[in-house]
Amino acid sequence: MKRLLLLFTLAFSNVKSQELFLKFDNVTWKELKVLQKDYLQSAENLSLNLNCPDSVEDLKKTYHLYYSRSNIILGTYYSWDMYLNPDNKFCVVRKISNLVYSTSTETSEHILSVNDARILLSASNDFRFTERGLNNELYKQKALEIYKHNNKIATELSKKYGGINRMWKFVREKRPETWKTDFPNYYKNISAQDYYSFRFIPDDATILDWFENYFSQEQKQELIDRVANPGFTESNLELLNKTWKLKSYQFYEQELIPVPENRKYHFYLDGASLDLRGTVDCNSTRGSFSLEGYQLKLQLGISTLMGCITSKEQANQWINHLNKVKVGSQMNTAIKPTLNKSAPETTEKIENKKDPSLNSEFDIIEVSQLLGKVITYQINNGELTLITDTADMLIFSQ
């Protein structure tokens, strides 16, 4: 059974109508039940109980959760739990998540009939797919290709606003009290089932759709004008859109220390999106920045296995995780020396008080950088010198 690729246009208010997004025609649960009904593994082979309890509540009283699983079957996302009884027989509980962009964490659960459980598990095992010309991996491959195509279009369409991150900054600026709920409320009718079924429509496209409909033309034009006319000074332009590599550094009037060749420290400031991207050895960091005169204000994040930490709350969660797993050696918070009085007057002092909630065995190095840092900079003969609020000096070159 061959499925077709369909073209459709997302209804953006101010987007060219000819800009098309690709959509993959997935097999829905209703269609899968018809498609798989004559190609089923037996209940015995799947160790299914023929008489499961009537409710999930009753099931959980007498069965124990053996394992949970999720899979994308012919383009549709499924999630289910396998409950085992004392006779080593399973009941299958399918889970349909709450609305993707909802603040709720509710998930609906229902026990599948024996026949529906056989359909789901057989299809998940690609049972007799080959003889019918079905290829689950091909579906995934096509979905990935479509995702990349759609993401490219969404990226191009958002450029006039400075990119998705710049749009989010604008949203937070204009709606500081409601921005966290406005986006979920706009998409409150998108269920997780539908979202994951069509997840090759990138989040960037979804956010762009919302942004176009959320703000007035006058407000959107304000952001467009900002991007087109950022008001950067000549010195700002020297700093932007270049990759700067750290050559040497100096901690509070100590000796200048060269960076070993095998160490990699560099960053890039995107003038359109006002995003910062960087690398510290094998780790990446990202954040945002603003420029005013010869001051560079950074709002940095720290890259971890849990993602990029950009807030104190996330930092605390990461610390708690480290304490639970006891991984690595103890990390000590950097000591902040007294501000160098000889540093330029334009350097703003940032308080670096240790959060009482960080009294744990593991701390995050330089947690203060999550709060933002104001740095003065100067560029001479292709070299960039940054002077931090602690009078540390870092020298970069292109």
Indicate which CATH number applies to the domain containing 337. Answer: 2.40.128.270
**Using CA atoms, how far apart are residues 91 and 49, in angstroms rounded to an integer?**
6
pLDDT of residue 321: 65
- State which residues form the domain around 362: 234-397
Classify 281 as helix, strand or coil.
Answer: coil
Q: Which of 92, 110, 132 is the last residue of a domain?
A: 132
Instruction: Give domain status of residue 82, yes or no.
Output: yes
- Rounded mean pLDDT, 110-137: 94
Same domain, yes or no, for 244 and 355?
Answer: yes
Cβ density class 376-389: b for 16+ within 10 Å, e for less? bbeeeeeebebbbb
CA–CA gap between residue 166 and residue 272 (Å, rounded): 8
pLDDT, tens digit, 9 for 90 and up, residues 101-112:
444 445 678 899
Please check whether residue 149 lies inside any domain of the structure: no
Statement to judge: residues 243 and 127 lie in one domain: no
Does residue 151 lie in a domain region? no
CA distances from residue 31 to 73, 117, 167 in whole angstroms, order as listed: 12, 15, 39
| CB contact set of 104 (below 8 Å; sequence gap of 6+) | 98
Judge if 104 and 253 occupy the same domain: no
Q: Are residues 124 and 245 in the same domain?
A: no
* Side-chain half-sphere exposure of 295, counting CA atoms within 13 A: 14
Q: Residues 381, 241: one domain?
A: yes
- Structural domain count of the chain: 2
Residue 298 covered by a domain: yes
Of 102, 132, 162, the domain-final residue: 132
Tens digits of per-residue pLDDT, 78-98? 889 999 999 999 999 998 754
**pLDDT tens, 295-334?**
777 766 555 555 555 556 666 666 666 666 544 433 333 3
pLDDT category of residue 6 using cuts at 50, 70 and 90? very low
| Average pLDDT of the residues in 339-364 | 37
Exposed/middle/buried for 17, CB within 10 Å: 0-12, 13-18, 19+? exposed
**Per-residue confidence (pLDDT) for residue 231, from 0 to 100:** 80
**187 in any annotated domain:** no
Same domain assignment for residues 126 and 267? no
Statement to judge: residues 242 and 375 lie in one domain: yes
- Residues listed for the chain: 398
Look at residue 159 and tell me if it is in a domain: no
Does 226 map to a domain?
Answer: no
pLDDT of residue 9 exceeding 50, the answer is no
Enter the pTM of the model.
Answer: 0.54
Average of per-residue pLDDT across 139-159: 84
| Average pLDDT of the residues of the chain | 73
Residue 58 placed within a domain: yes
Q: What is the mean pLDDT of residues 196-203?
A: 54
216-273 pLDDT, tens per residue?
A: 999 999 999 988 888 888 888 888 998 888 888 887 667 788 888 777 788 888 888 8
Whether residue 127 is found in the same domain as residue 240: no
Q: Token pair of 175, please? A: 């709606």
Sorted by sequence, the CB contacts under 8 Å of residue 61 that are 6+ apart come out as: none
Residue 371: DSSP 8-state = G
Domain boundary among 132, 155, 181: 132
